[in-house]
Structure 1
Amino acid sequence: MTLSVLARLSPIQSTRLTPWLCRGMKQQATPRKGLKVLFFGTDEFSSSALTALSKGIYSENPGVAHIEVVCPPPRYKVRTNKEKTKLIWKARVSSRATNLGIRVHNTPEGGSIQDWEVPTVDLKAGYGANAQFDIGVVASFGAFLPQRIIDSFPQKMINLHPSLLPKYRGPTPIQTAILNSDTHTGVTVQEVHPKRYDAGNILAQVPFELKLGMHRLDLMTQLGHLGGELTVRVLQNLEYSRKHSIVQDETQATITHMFTSGDAKIRWETMTAMDVMRMHWAHFGHIAVWSFLRIKNKVLTVKMTDIELATSFDEPLEEDYLSFRPGSALRKRKHDYIEFPCIDGGRLHVRGFTVEGKQPRDGLQFAAGYIKKNKTPCMLTLSPDCKRPTPNFVYPESYKRPSHLAAVKINDVPLYHSKPKFVKKLKLLEEAEEAKEAEEVKSSEELDESKETEEPKEAEEPKETKELKESEELKETDESK
């Protein structure tokens, strides 16, 4: 239904300018055709969408004539007894706009924009003094826009959202799609609703295939670029898009929520290796997955930053690794990773650790500092009482220990970030299996043909019937004599 709206939109014209030429180009002083856009954004998704929008300025049929950016101000940490301050955070879209030669406006400190006034167009753009923007475009801005700001634009405001609305409204649609094992997601361009988040009429949508192994930053970049191109097409056909807009079905709406560090804790009693990886992909670059580690009378919080799935091509560090409890830290000399068995028989290879209050370490450094010879520490879901022994691992009800063959091949799946050698090995194995199946089919067909060509042999009589016939023949000869 929503795709039919997109199909009727005129396709975006490809720009002749390469990205490196557009990168530092200043906007010309002569007014261009199209709309004057004020772009509201913050993160990687916003910056990718901004790049696509800026390229639309130089197309033959531009929907965007001039663009400026609004984002939160940078945050600084004031050092005591020193005049210098340290930058601790800056909006990603601000850096991208600076590289593209786009003017940046910052909202007031504290995040409140209730008393904030919409700026006017830059005089250098050639639109005269006090020129107003035609429309506002919002992409992952992070603040609610009141009716007053929406009405300050003649063409109101539209929003770019990284999901197929009404599914996954709210602040974390990408993370939720990864955690829910979705195979498809998408982007939606909608009207900005004055009272609720992501509840406006849908102007256009585009689906996107979510491949296994894509993490949060991958999707933010790719969906942002796709959404920026879609926004250009909507702006080129704004009147048509609004005329054929679609009201969202409230019965199908789902809401996402903000994630905290507690949502990234590994629960070894219930989570499979793939569950841990999905959690790692969903929070990649934002929150690291973590667990507890007990060393004598200390309980440490350990973050795991570089995680991979072990495959059947990766030999286990321990032959009987299935006998170890899930979360056991297995190590071997000259290996730069620590191996963690999971409850389903899968294995995790971790190469990056950050212990609470310490600097980040690789696998070798972590093993040297926290794993002693002939001792295998275990990661824990709950923080134990240091005055008591560590409680035994509690397996879930109806738990069955996985077989070795099933455990070895459990993670043999081609991921988005799989190494080329691994993908090549999988292809060779698949080709070998297909060839084996073809040989079996061919041999069975040859057997069937040979059976059909062979003449049917007379069925041999049993011994009892033969003896009866011989005795009857003897009787007949005696009578004849």
Structure 2
Amino acid sequence: MFILHGRYFVHRHIHLFKHCYSTSTIKPLNVAFFGSDLFSMHILEHLYQLFLNDKSRIKCLEVVTTVSTLNTVMQGAEKLQLTTHVWPDIDSLISKSPVQFDVGILASFGQLLPKRLIESFPLGIINVHPSLLPRWRGSSPLIYTIASGDKTSGVSIMDIRPKHFDIGPVLMQQSFPLSTNMTMFELLKISADVGCSLLDKVLEDPIKSRENAQEQALSGITYAHKINKYGYYIDWHNHTTEDIDRLYRALNQIANLRTIFRQKPVRLKLLTLINDQSILNDLNTISSQPGTAIYNKSLECICIRCKDGWIGFKKLAYLKSMYARDFQNGYISKMDRFVFDSIHNSLFDYIYERRVPK
């Protein structure tokens, strides 16, 4: 039922667009941008350059964002001296603003939009989403893409629907391969660049882009839920070395991975993959218990046993940050056997069942 309603919504608005706009009158556009984080800021900076250098394309650019001390877009908009509207005061856009906005562009905004706001934009609101929808709908697609070991990712430009995340028809989509050791921030930059390129094409003719929009497939739907604090913890009994490496590349540039010792968190830094078979053989003769921590002098790291092998960290933070040798001298050497606790990581509840078959 909802998909039929969505199609009606698209076709109804295309009909209205054609009466309100022609190809020659679509430009220049009054644009309201919705965003909050680093990915959003990449898209905003691109739109700002269009606004600054090509008034025939964007005549007015204003920003909608949330109040937060960590809000990258709020800080960026201030530096760019762009008019900023604070969410959720949508009346400042709909009825109080002197500008009649043509189109809304959203990227990683994290808020559900009401119907009356979407319908106040003659050309609707479109979303730059960094995944190949319907894979990884939700707030954290970049993290889940890396943590799940996807070989391919991409960007989708989609139509926003009221009170739902990432379900609207896709106006344009582009895929690209992922390198073996890619980090989340590297993926973010590539995705933002691809998103800007796609956005340029959509803005050339928004009506035609909508006419060619495709409903999302009903199969292959996965969700990238918001990461909670347990998403950073390692489950030594159930996580493989590959799982931990992927999790590290997905999250480490946001916050350190963690484990537990004496009921207190230990932050794990500077991951080291252990490939020397002789070192692995020596470690295996000492213990096969997941969570066991052993200092290796040649690697200068704490080697920790996981489900299928060993993984190393050169630096740890327990009460204070220290190198592996100091952690060895201060804690490991004083115990007969040093074992970190396993903590269930709910992020993997979604990943294990949703990995693309090899």
Q: TM-score range by the shorter chain?
A: 0.7 to 0.9
Residue 311 of structure 2 corresponds to residue 348 of structure 1: yes
How does 1:221-232 map onto structure 2 within 5 Å? 221-232=189-200
1:378 and 2:339 matched? yes
Listed one character per residue, the Cα deviations across residues 92-139 of structure 1 (whole Å, up to 9, x for unaligned) are: 1223333434333322xxxxx2x53143899xxxxxx91222211111
Matches within 5 A, 1:19-30: none
Structure 2 residue runs of 5 or longer lacking an equivalent are 1-26, 345-358
> Deviation at 1:305?
3.2
Q: Is residue 2:68 matched to residue 1:116?
A: no
363 and 65 in structure 1: CA distance in 2 versus 1, 3 angstrom threshold: farther
Residues 282-324 of structure 1: CA deviation (Å, up to 9, x unaligned): 223335322222xxxx433212133232233x973x8611122
TM-score by length of 2: 0.78
Q: For the residues of structure 1 that align with 2:57 and 2:95, how far apart are their CA atoms?
A: 17
Secondary structure at 1:380's aligned position in 2? coil
Aligned to 2:267: 303
What secondary structure, in the 3-state scheme, does the structure 1 residue paired with 2:33 have?
strand
More displaced, 266-275 or 332-341? 332-341
Kept after mapping to 1: 8 A contact 2:152/2:175: yes
Secondary structure of the residue aligned to 2:91 is: coil
Aligned partner of 1:322 in structure 2 is 284
- Kept in 2, the 8 Å contact 1:63–1:232? The answer is no
Which residue is equivalent to 1:244? 212
Residues of 2 paired with 1:121 and 1:152: CA distance?
9
Paired with 1:210 and 1:97, the residues of 2 have a C-alpha distance of 31
What is the match of residue 236 of structure 2? 268
Q: In structure 2, do the counterparts of structure 1 residues 161 and 327 end up closer, same or farther at CA, with 3 Å as the change threshold?
A: same
Per the alignment, residue 131 of structure 1 pairs with 99
Equivalences for 1:75-114 in 2 at 5 Å?
89-107=69-87, 113=88
Q: AA paired with 1:93? A: V
User: How much does 1:62 deviate?
Assistant: 5.6
Distance 1:145 1:361 in 2: 46
Whether 2:326 is the aligned partner of 1:360: answer: no
Check 1:225–1:93 CA distance in 2 against 1; reply closer, same or farther (3 A cut): farther
Matches within 5 A, 1:164-183: 164-183=132-151
The residue number in structure 2 matching 1:52 is: 46
Unaligned regions of 5+ residues in structure 1, if any? 1-32, 75-88, 108-112, 123-128, 384-481
Give the drift of 1:41: 0.5
Q: SS of the counterpart of 1:235?
A: helix
Q: Secondary structure at the match of 1:160?
A: strand
Residue equivalent to 1:337: 301
Judge conservation of contact 2:64–2:86 (CA < 8 Å) in 1: yes
Q: Distance in 1 between matches of 2:275 and 2:46?
A: 38
Aligned partners of 1:46 and 1:93 also within 8 Å: yes
CA distance in 2, matches of 1:375, 1:147: 63
* Aligned residue number for residue 114 of structure 2: 146
Percent identical residues: 28
Residue correspondence of structure 1 range 378-457 to structure 2 within 5 A: 378-381=339-342
Offset at 1:195? 3.7
Distance 2:105 2:284 in 1: 53
CA pair 344-156 structure 1, distance change in 2 beyond 3 A: same
Query: Residues of 2 paired with 1:252 and 1:321: CA distance?
Result: 41
Give the drift of 1:375.
Answer: 4.4
**How far 1:165 moved relative to its partner?**
1.1
Given the superposition, is the C-alpha separation of residues 225 and 145 from structure 1 closer, same or farther in structure 2, using an over 3 Å criterion?
A: same
Please tell me whether the aligned partners of residues 63 and 233 of structure 1 are also in contact (alpha carbons under 8 angstroms): no
AA matched with 1:90 = L
Structure 1 counterpart SS, 2:90: coil
Q: Which one of 24, 34, 37 corresponds to residue 40 of structure 1?
A: 34
Q: TM-score, normalised by structure 1?
A: 0.60
Q: 1:105 to 1:330 in 2, by over 3 A?
A: same
C-alpha change, 1:63 and 1:348, in structure 2 (3 Å) is: farther
Question: What amino acid sits opposite 1:119 in the alignment?
Answer: L
Partner-residue secondary structure (3-state), 1:186: strand
What is the CA-CA distance between 1:61 and the residue it aligns to? 9.0
The amino acid of 1:244's aligned partner reads N
How many residue pairs are counted as aligned between the two chains? 317
CA apart distance, 1:50: 1.4
Structure exhibiting the larger radius of gyration computed from Cα positions: 1
| 67, 71, 81: which one aligns with 1:73 | 67
* Greater strand content: 2
Alpha-carbon deviation of 1:59? 5.9
Runs of 4+ in 1 over 6 A off after TM superposition: none
